[in-house]
Amino acid sequence: MKKSIILSISILFFGLAYAQTPVPIDSIYDLIKKSSIHSKNANWTNIGDGFTKRLKAAKNDIDSIKSFVYVFEQLNDYHSAVIYKGNYFTNYPTFDDSTLKYLSPLVALSNQRSGKFFAETLSDKYLYIQVNSVQAMGANVSLFAQILSDTLSRYITNKTKGVVLDLRLNGGGQFSSMVAGLSPLLGDIYIGGGVNGDSIQTMTFKLKNGNIFLNDYQMTSIQPKINRDLKNLPVAVIIGPATRSSGSILGVAFKGRPKTVFIGENTANGYTTSNDYFPFGNNLFLNLSTTNSIDRNNKIYKDVVTPDIIIKGGDNFISIKDDDKVKAALRWLKSNSR
């Protein structure tokens, strides 16, 4: 009898929100509980109690949606979000003042350079290429992939002895565009995927003829113009605290690659998950972390991608040749490209 009363109260509280949002709030909550990569280790009894209290206090639809921020907080999930009426409701990480002072300009610059690729030749024989965020859907997924691939082909010559791949300002977006554009450096190979909360692989990434396949589905359709075999060319990948989401997963795609080193700082904490997008009507969506990333050797990345050579600070995006991390990358390339 006691259990029936508790269940009735819970249904009543959820029902209060039904009239406030396009779909019943509990349908979104149940999906998070079922599919979140963080679900297995969560205390759903406590989360449910706290969530119900917030719904009971909700005065409007926005208050109801904000209740999901509490859920993400309890899951220690920084990557998931509910998007409602064009606004993002998520669990933002907090930083101390000194970290925030360092990180804020990087994130601002990352936002400014979204959708742009920069390349230049260093020391006459090393290619520097900065791959930033790509926001693309539909036909634009392949369009951006081709632009990146063409950028790579324009700068790669027979004299090129190595590549500096800079992902420090890559805040994520369309992974398919980025990895297909860089496919000549990776070759036709399995490059990783994702695992669920039971560490069972549910997603695979494979490159074939310069295009990326998610499981067996081809995500891009491009034609790389590089005739030279680059998969054994030394590559120094630069990462940092503004590298997040699919920017981090792009880094994972290079983990385990021969003649590859990672330089810089840890990527943003909590952003190595892959997300699924669930629509709940025209103006309500759930972007949910459902898998942890794995590399080609099936190593799982639950939190961050780590560098092999740690260098903190010293970033100079105005004059790349004076950047401390780029200098370290060139030193490594020179000693590994003979």
| pLDDT tens, residue by residue, 159-180 | 999 999 999 999 999 999 999 9
Q: CA 280, CA 20: separation in Å to the nearest integer?
A: 14
Contact by Cβ (8 Å): 210, 224 = yes
Q: What is the pLDDT of residues 224-266, one digit of tens each?
A: 998 888 999 999 999 999 999 999 999 999 999 999 999 999 9
Is 278 a domain residue? no
The answer to whether the beta carbons of residues 252 and 301 sit under 8 Å apart is yes
Q: How many domains does the chain have?
A: 2
For residue 206, is pLDDT > 80? yes
pLDDT reading at 208 higher than 80 = yes
- pLDDT, mean of residues 313-322: 96
Distances (CA, A) of 79 to 36, 96, 204: 11, 20, 20
pLDDT of residue 282: 82
74 and 114 housed in the same domain: no
Please tell me which residue, 49 or 5, carries the higher pLDDT value: 49
Same domain, 143 and 206: yes
CATH of the domain at 151: 3.90.226.10
Does 288 reside within a domain? no
Question: Is the Cα torsion angle 52, 54, 58, 62 positive or negative in sign?
Answer: negative
pLDDT at 202: 96
299 assigned to some structural domain: no
Q: Which residues contact 114 (CB under 8 A, 6 or more apart)?
A: 132, 133, 134, 135, 171, 173
Q: Are residues 231 and 108 in the same domain?
A: yes
Domain hosting 203: range is 97-269+304-336
Is 174 in contact with 144 (CB distance < 8 Å)?
yes
187 plus 327 within the same structural domain: yes
In a domain, 170, yes or no: yes
Nearest to 306 by CA among 235, 257, 239, 242: 239
The answer to whether residue 121 sits within a structural domain is: yes
Q: Could you tell me the pTM of the whole model?
A: 0.91
Q: State whether 122 and 251 are in the same domain.
A: yes
- Given a cut of 80, whether residue 4 has pLDDT beyond it is no
Do 193 and 77 lie in a common domain?
Answer: no
**Same-domain pairing of 161 and 17:** no
Are 215 and 197 contained in the same domain?
Answer: yes
User: Are 264 and 121 contained in the same domain?
Assistant: yes
Cβ within 8 Å of residue 48, ≥6 positions away: 10
- Among 90, 124, 156, the domain boundary falls at 90
Looking at residue 281, what is its pLDDT? 81
- Same domain membership, residue 181 and residue 325: yes
297 inside domain? no
79-136 tens-digit pLDDT: 999 999 999 999 998 888 988 999 999 999 999 999 999 999 999 999 999 999 999 9
Q: Residue 15 has what pLDDT?
A: 42
Question: Is residue 22's pLDDT more than 50?
Answer: yes
Q: Which residues contact 195 (CB under 8 A, 6 or more apart)?
A: 201, 202, 291, 292, 294, 300
> Is residue 85 situated within a structural domain?
yes
- Mark which of 74, 90, 106 sits at the end of a domain: 90
Predicted confidence at residue 148, as pLDDT, reads: 97
Structure tokens at 265: 């700082």
Q: Are residues 126 and 204 in the same domain?
A: yes
279 located within any domain: no
Residue 180 and residue 15: Cα distance in Å, rounded?
46
Indicate the average pLDDT of the chain.
Answer: 92
Of 75, 90, 105, the last residue of a domain is 90
pLDDT at 20: 64
- The mean pLDDT value for 48-53 works out to 96
Lowest mean pLDDT among 25-39, 72-86, 93-107, 307-321: 93-107
Section 12-30 average pLDDT: 68
Domain match, 35 and 183 both:
no
Cα separation, 203 vs 323, whole angstroms: 37
Q: Is a pLDDT exceeding 80 seen at residue 3?
A: no
